[in-house]
Amino acid sequence: MPPDALPDQPKQQLPREAYVSDSWYEAEQKTLFSKCWSFAGVTMDFTEPGDFRTIQAGAYALIVIRDANGDLRAFHNQCRHRGTELLEGCGNAGKTIVCPYHNWVYNLDGALRGVPAQRECFPDLDKKATALFGASVGVFRNLVFVHPEPDQSFDAWLGDLAQIPWPHDLASSELQENPDDVVYEINCNWKVFFENAIDGYHLAYLHKDTLGGPTHDKNLWEVFGHNMVWWSTEREGVKHRIPQFVESSAKGSGLKTVRNAETPGYGGVYMLFPTTILTPNPWGFSISTMEPVDANTTLLRVRNWSPKGWFTYTHRAADIPGYDPESGRIKSSHWTQHPLETGDFQTEDVWVCEKMQRALQSPRYQVGPLAKGAGGEAAIDFFQQTVLEFMPK
């Protein structure tokens, strides 16, 4: 297990290779992701039997689907005949899952139901023993998670995290999901992006013209098992720095005040190891998931919810700096102005993550001391220890 608190004297735990080498990447894909939970969607994505979403959890291609009894199920997205991928994207599969290759048919609970020309072609087939490979599914406050192994306990993984205040009720009629899923294609290792998201030391400096803080002494990271939650203990600062957000949030937005923060909705980031970032804020709620593509590339998928009829900060994909109309993704290659002039803190983060990744290519790359304290860079040390715990020895 990782330590249950942040280290006093944080230091870099991972070698440079962890961020740049193909062998590290492949080991993570197989080993780390086979032991962890990944975000699969929200319960509103699965209202009817047959509603499904496909999820890439490291090297594992998974399906979450609602079965005919109304239960959520998770399977590996491969046919038990010759392994063809069964479903793509998301949608409704109908009453059964039919493999497009030779039409083997599965019930929504994964049982193999029909095999064309079974008597002639597969006289000895034991259909009962040929169900889809099972995975695990867990639900917490309308958030759906999936694990590549069967019979895993999502509650055990959440632990005390389930007990802490939670800012938004996603099923609330006061909130609505914004129309666009936003996908960033970022030229950095997924851990570089994760570490930037938990780096409390940079908020007042890299983001001095956007977020402008809080400073490290107003940040608080707390550890919950393998997960971490950040709160700002700042009371007033945000009101002066980003008044337009606060003004909007004050007007019956339905957002709740989270622990340690006075501004409604402000000041919580829930980092669910390894790839899920839940961010409540005064203008809504976002769920970001990282999908490693290779050692040097990560997709960041962002879904946003806002109070109904209220769109001060909607994250329409086409409005974000770097929008590429051809792919529909946000890419640094499509920036038309300097990232620090965009006024968008996410763009600032992408910019610095890509700078980190370029620096990591040098064999001379070395990390110096990390900032002490729960609001500094101690969370980075904790995260890296957690990564090591899940990697082959």
Partner residues linked to 294 by β-bridges: 297
Residue nearest to Fe ion (CB): 349
- 22: part of which helix (H) or strand (E)? helix 22-27
CB of 115 to ligand FES, least distance (A): 8
233 binds, among Fe ion, ligand FES, none (CB under 5 to 8 A by kind): none
Minimum CB distance to ligand FES smaller for 75 or for 266: 75
Q: For every residue of 144-194, which 3-state class applies, written as one string?
A: EEEECCCCCCHHHHHHHHHHCCCCCCCCCCCEEECCCCEEEEECCCHHHHH
Q: How many residues belong to the chain?
A: 393
Of 78, 60, 49, 227, the residue nearest 154 (C-alpha): 227
Partner residues linked to 139 by β-bridges: 144
Distances in Å between the alpha carbon of 320 and those of 17, 141, 283, 291, 323?
32, 29, 16, 20, 6
CB of 177 to Fe ion, least distance (A): 24
CB of 104 to ligand FES, least distance (A): 4
E-state strands within the chain: 38-42, 51-57, 60-66, 72-76, 90-92, 96-98, 105-107, 112-114, 136-140, 143-147, 175-177, 182-186, 219-224, 227-232, 268-272, 276-281, 284-294, 297-307, 323-324, 329-331
Minimum CB distance to ligand FES smaller for 21 or for 84: 84
For residue 21, give both structure tokens.
Answer: 């080498």
Contact 366, 198 (CB under 8 A): no
| Site track 328-357 with Fe ion (rule: CB under 5 A), x = hit | ---------------------x--------
Query: How far is Cα 375 from Cα 221, in angstroms, rounded to an integer?
Result: 6
Of 111, 110, 108, the residue nearest 76 (C-alpha): 110
Minimum CB distance to ligand FES smaller for 63 or for 99: 99
Interface region with ligand FES, contact rule CB under 6 A, candidates 9-17, 75-83, 163-171, 177-185: 75-83
Query: How far is Cα 110 from Cα 127, in angstroms, rounded to an integer?
Result: 11
Q: Does 121 help bind ligand FES (rule: CB under 6 A)?
A: no
In one-letter notation, the amino acid at residue 234 is: E
Minimum CB distance to ligand FES smaller for 103 or for 362: 103
Minimum CB distance to ligand FES smaller for 122 or for 154: 122
CB of 66 to ligand FES, least distance (A): 22
CB of 123 to ligand FES, least distance (A): 17
79 binds, among ligand FES, Fe ion, none (CB under 5 to 8 A by kind): ligand FES
CB of 118 to ligand FES, least distance (A): 12
Minimum CB distance to ligand FES smaller for 101 or for 205: 101
349 binds, among Fe ion, ligand FES, none (CB under 5 to 8 A by kind): Fe ion
| Site track 77-106 with ligand FES (rule: CB under 6 A), x = hit | --x-xx-x--------------x-xx-x--
For residue 6, give every residue at least 6 positions away whose Cβ sits within 8 Å of its Cβ, in sequence order, or none. Answer: 221, 223, 374, 378, 379, 381, 382
Minimum CB distance to ligand FES smaller for 1 or for 129: 129
- Site size toward Fe ion, by CB under 5 A: 1
CB of 49 to ligand FES, least distance (A): 22
Backbone torsions φ then ψ of 345, nearest 5 degrees = -70, -30
For residue 41, give both structure tokens.
Answer: 């969607």
CB of 101 to ligand FES, least distance (A): 4
102 binds, among ligand FES, Fe ion, none (CB under 5 to 8 A by kind): ligand FES
The sign of the torsion formed by the CA atoms of 58, 63, 65, 69 equals negative
Query: How far is Cα 43 from Cα 18, in angstroms, rounded to an integer?
Result: 35
- Site size toward ligand FES, by CB under 6 A: 8
CB of 347 to Fe ion, least distance (A): 10
CB of 79 to ligand FES, least distance (A): 3
Residues that bind Fe ion (CB under 5 A): 349
Interface contacts to ligand FES, rule CB under 6 A: 79, 81-82, 84, 99, 101-102, 104
